[in-house]
Amino acid sequence: MTNISHNLKVTREENEYLKVKLSQASNEVGLAHNRVQEFKADSSQLIEKHNEREAEISALTQMHKGYHTESSNLELELDSLQNHKRDLEEKIKSSTTEAKELGQHNSGLQNQISEHEMKSKERQEELSAILKKLKDNENESSSKISDLTSQINNLLNDIGTLNAQKNEMEQ
Alpha carbon of residue 116 to chain centroid:
10
The Cα–Cα gap between 136 and 145 comes to 14
The count of other CB atoms within 10 Å of the CB of residue 5 is 11
Check residue 89 and give its pLDDT.
92
Q: Is 80 exposed, middle or buried (0-12, 13-18, 19+ CB in 10 A)?
A: exposed
Q: Is the pTM of this model over 0.85?
A: no
Check residue 40 and give its pLDDT.
85
Q: Please say whether the beta carbons of 131 and 4 come within 8 A.
A: no
Check residue 15 and give its pLDDT.
87
pLDDT in tens, 64-109: 665 566 567 778 888 999 999 999 899 989 989 988 998 899 899 8
The Cα–Cα gap between 65 and 52 comes to 19
Check residue 149 and give its pLDDT.
93
Check residue 1 and give its pLDDT.
66
Q: Which residue type, as a one-letter code, is found at position 155?
A: L
Sign of CA dihedral 131, 133, 138, 142: positive
Among 1.10.10, 1.10.287, 3.40.30, 2.60.40, name the CATH number for the domain at 2-131.
1.10.287
Q: Please say whether the beta carbons of 22 and 110 come within 8 A.
A: yes
The Cα–Cα gap between 58 and 48 comes to 15
Residues of the chain with confidence (pLDDT) below 50: none
What residue spans of the chain are helical by DSSP H? 2-63, 68-170
